[in-house]
Structure 1
């Protein structure tokens, strides 16, 4: 990927001002300006900009053009993205970032109004260590990149309410996706410490993130310990329709509606491969709430392959509550052990003309028949280790191969720019549909890994670490990097999803490491598996052939 420096005046515009720059940038993606601006700006072709941010960088030279000169402040990186030509990626190294930038005259409303604002044609990517040369080398789960609204760093997890004294300094919305479209991407972050309360106008919902008429793409994120009057973690309102995939919502609290999320007024968001657990609402909708807010508008929220567990509400609807012309659609979902006031309650509450469609899902019920809808079950989902918050499913789970249609990859999880193809991965990054046994998609956010065990046999990694570069691969050359090898002999094999071995080779480790360049055989475009094994170890990783 070509790295290009950030041009502070990419359009050479003769008219100054923030709003004009914003307007020019919005029109730039169409590579044309309306006749009103003819002659005022000159376009310059540019490669995709990569802007680097690292909170640990103490260098005196910070222009964001490399890791060595990375911005230490994320707001500087976002500002550079606004000024740069063409689509941008902001690479953010592990660390904690707060949105406040006020230097003087800082009133409470100014400070608490600070936020990380998403912009069209800008992908905000977390999970870097600060040395990577390709974004496929990042790992958000091992390199936590935290966007925090806790400006003073004094939050007390035991005081998880919007009125807690330790949260009085917290910003209203950590991230804002207002007016954004799907080219505005948030990927690989922990969003925490937002506190949307009613003391400032229009800030009562969406502590973690607000999407007012915004439809960004959000993937591989964790929303936790956010509070609000409504929508503790995320608000989708006034047509806000984000696509949210492979995200975890946990420990978020709303004093009224929607412990994790709320959807108001014509929003049509999609939540795919998401886990909702331990969220709570002081009224209804322990995990999620949808309604038209009294406007008469139609609201539709989609949940595909999501798991709802251990959420709670004071009123009915500990998993989901729908009111006022709203519709919630659940497909391939698990709703289990969500409670009202500590006791079993129907998982979904509907009122005031709200409707729900539930298909191919496991829903806990007190009756002797499953929740109404095609393919629904009421059996215990058989989680791997629910007491320790591991909500993967065992190979014996009734959820295995019991799902319906495979959702589309609306969030482009494999980053191949194809959002109309089948969903490739589950929440853990495993194959979403494991076709080795001829089965279909599993119910819930996770696929059972029993199929991989059946194909390769169960052999622990035992410290084996595997990395593939580049991924996706275009020219057939794939570099395999392995560390933590026990013994000298290593076998490398490539497999199709239906269990066919396409190639096999061997390597010899040196000091526990192996670097080997593979020339892949002729392969059609798609998803494949690469397996590295020793007599005592095994690691399997997927890769995409373009």
Structure 2
């Protein structure tokens, strides 16, 4: 080996080691656009790969793949990929896959790098044949047909697959649709199949997917993926997890929406099913999911979920747990959640706990219903704690308008019950089938039970201890009273009991003020339902409770407390949107921060910030009105609760130009020409067939490539030079406001060839012969 080759080998080894240690050291951006007309090598929007599989095939750790708007299918590629239903997009380690770009456009001024997944949709579709009918997720009958629909029987089993990747693998800004996992072995994860992997999935919508077993939209087996700001809607699984199934996994779910996901009648977990998993679910919405037999939104089996600041609306089941089912040694922590109008056929209109130990604190239960017992919460063979929760307007057809327990040990601390209804026990019932073996131990302290009387029902000889509580029609116990709690506005502005506008805080002179028992308070109970200090002394009220002052009030709210809580507020700048300028080049835009909130209930102030050019602008208020010029604007919102600032949230406002109908480009008919002796042909293009429906004058932009070089021309009939070969030339016209869609003309330039000579003998003639009979002819 020569010295030179030895040095070359050393350099090669060092480069390889550097690439292994620093996967982003030689990172590149790879472009994908299904309309790109160029060389399709991925080095620009013009030359973007037309198939996402081609980009994934060449991506290396540290690379970023940018995908323009369009539809991409796992079975389509220039590189070898399966053509059958097993085709899938396989995520790559340390590769960021970003969708939602404007991508290749009709003119040089097209904003190719603008990114808004809500406007420029990058769709990953399992519909290989392109024959799926459009799904309305709100049509639950249609959602239930996804698995067996004849048009979907040739769809890909798993649209996306993640295997053994970590959080440096990112999937961001896509619509994932049409994965139907109903194969012999491929029965899980129609949208995303995630095995021993922890990718980051952000800003994605997953819809129209199905699974013959579990996890129609996402199936996770043994990983820690992050799921942030995603919408998972209209998916169906036969067994568990209409949207998502987690097995021995620890997913982190933040600011996601799960809606209209279903399982079969015998299934469980309309949106999410957790088995031996520790899910963390925060600030998410669950609405109109159907959980079959158990867990309308979430089913937990031998799991340790932490569910915080979530909203559950109109979820349902056939048997139990209209919103959440906690079963078989599940230890759930549920805090600061709202449960509104969830329903079940038998037990637990909102939450069912069976054979586990759960803690439910600072939650609101309004308008939930069971067609049997436990309008809001059912407890069976469990040891839960329910702390600082509000139960209002819940209904059970038999026992326990709010809570029913069987064969359990239940603690209810600092809760408020109002306008709940049941035949027995409008607030709480202890009912079981085989007493005394199935009797319960129930402790109620520092609570208000004011539902019209018959608050507590005990038909199985349960041990019920009620202390320092206000019980309508009274209940024996130390510190108990039976006086009007004097709610601020029990039936709210609409004068109707039992709905969300009821104000169940205490007014002055309430007998519940400073009347609780400090000794039963959990050590971490520092705030009331509004986030104010949990113990606050009212100097106008004599202490009637127990413990060292200040004495805690009965119920969920502390009267007079102004001490702020200890949690930062949360900013929500609203959804991204596109608006049209008003003819002046500007648009009037009303921002909307109404989705912002403070977990402690403190009043918040709003500060909006954005830049135009080098100038920074600010606005205040929840819905300020501002002026924005044509372009894309990122506007940041920060809210302040008087003590703490939120993390910033950003809304993207795209202001587009006004106009009527776009013009129509016509690049003329395809043709074939012959090159001259130089190997080039002189060609006159012809866009004279282009027009504007409103008669506006047009400007013309022609674009084509020769090799890797991009060329442009302007004018209606420009003259250009083209080498031998076939050339696709794009024409876009502009009417001063709107661009047309591009039109193309195909010019084929043939090489000049040797032509045979052409004989010409001249015209026919008649001449006169001489005396000898001959004529001389030239």
Same fold? TM cut 0.5? yes
Equivalent residue in structure 2 for 1:357, among 317, 333, 338 = 333
Equivalent residue in structure 2 for 1:275, among 245, 257, 263 = 257
1:334/1:269 CA distance change after superposition, 3 Å: same
Instruction: Give, in whole Å, the separation in 1 of the partners of 2:297 and 2:78.
Output: 42
Instruction: Give, in whole Å, the separation in 1 of the partners of 2:220 and 2:277.
Output: 10
Equivalent residue in structure 2 for 1:128, among 92, 96, 101 = 101
1:465/1:315 CA distance change after superposition, 3 Å: farther
Q: Number of aligned pairs? A: 399
Checking the alignment, whether the CA contact within 8 Å between 2:570 and 2:639 is kept in structure 1 is no
| Alpha-carbon shift at residue 346 of structure 1 (Å) | 2.8
* Higher Rg of the two aligned structures: 2
| Alpha-carbon shift at residue 121 of structure 1 (Å) | 1.5
The reply on whether 1:317 has 2:295 as its aligned counterpart is: yes
Matches within 5 A, 1:453-464: 455-456=620-621, 458=623
Checking the alignment, whether the CA contact within 8 Å between 2:571 and 2:647 is kept in structure 1 is no
* Paired position in structure 2 for 1:179: 164
Q: Indicate the structure whose relative CO is greater, using CA pairs within 8 Å and at least 6 residues apart.
A: 1
1:155/1:93 CA distance change after superposition, 3 Å: same
Superposition RMSD in Å? 4.6
**Residue ranges of structure 1 left out of the alignment (5+ in a row):** 1-10, 15-20, 33-44, 292-297, 382-394, 405-420, 472-479, 481-493, 501-523, 533-546
Equivalent residue in structure 2 for 1:247, among 215, 221, 230 = 230
1:527/1:331 CA distance change after superposition, 3 Å: closer
Instruction: Give, in whole Å, the separation in 2 of the partners of 1:177 and 1:140.
Output: 21
Counterpart secondary structure, 1:318: coil
The reply on whether 1:148 has 2:131 as its aligned counterpart is: no
Equivalent residue in structure 1 for 2:217, among 224, 233, 246 = 233
Report the TM-score when normalising by structure 1: 0.62
Checking the alignment, whether the CA contact within 8 Å between 2:254 and 2:281 is kept in structure 1 is yes
Checking the alignment, whether the CA contact within 8 Å between 1:112 and 1:169 is kept in structure 2 is yes
Instruction: Give, in whole Å, the separation in 1 of the partners of 2:306 and 2:367.
Output: 21
Matches within 5 A, 1:354-393: 354-364=330-340, 373-379=360-366
Matches within 5 A, 1:71-86: 71-82=49-60
The reply on whether 1:54 has 2:33 as its aligned counterpart is: yes
| Alpha-carbon shift at residue 463 of structure 1 (Å) | 9.1
Report the TM-score when normalising by structure 2: 0.45
Instruction: Give, in whole Å, the separation in 2 of the partners of 1:403 and 1:123.
Output: 41
Equivalent residue in structure 2 for 1:304, among 274, 282, 287 = 282
Checking the alignment, whether the CA contact within 8 Å between 2:321 and 2:351 is kept in structure 1 is no
Checking the alignment, whether the CA contact within 8 Å between 2:54 and 2:77 is kept in structure 1 is no
1:397/1:67 CA distance change after superposition, 3 Å: farther
Instruction: Give, in whole Å, the separation in 1 of the partners of 2:63 and 2:33.
Output: 17
Checking the alignment, whether the CA contact within 8 Å between 2:129 and 2:154 is kept in structure 1 is yes
Matches within 5 A, 1:189-228: 189-199=174-184, 201=185, 203-228=186-211
Instruction: Give, in whole Å, the separation in 2 of the partners of 1:369 and 1:164.
Output: 32
**Residue ranges of structure 2 left out of the alignment (5+ in a row):** 1-9, 136-141, 353-358, 369-499, 504-527, 532-567, 578-591, 609-618, 654-778
Q: Which has the higher helix share?
A: 1
1:349/1:457 CA distance change after superposition, 3 Å: closer
* Paired position in structure 2 for 1:418: none
Counterpart secondary structure, 1:72: coil
* Paired position in structure 2 for 1:440: 598
* Paired position in structure 1 for 2:632: 467
Checking the alignment, whether the CA contact within 8 Å between 2:322 and 2:351 is kept in structure 1 is no
| Alpha-carbon shift at residue 495 of structure 1 (Å) | 8.1
1:334/1:402 CA distance change after superposition, 3 Å: farther
1:339/1:451 CA distance change after superposition, 3 Å: farther
Checking the alignment, whether the CA contact within 8 Å between 2:576 and 2:651 is kept in structure 1 is no
| Alpha-carbon shift at residue 102 of structure 1 (Å) | 7.4
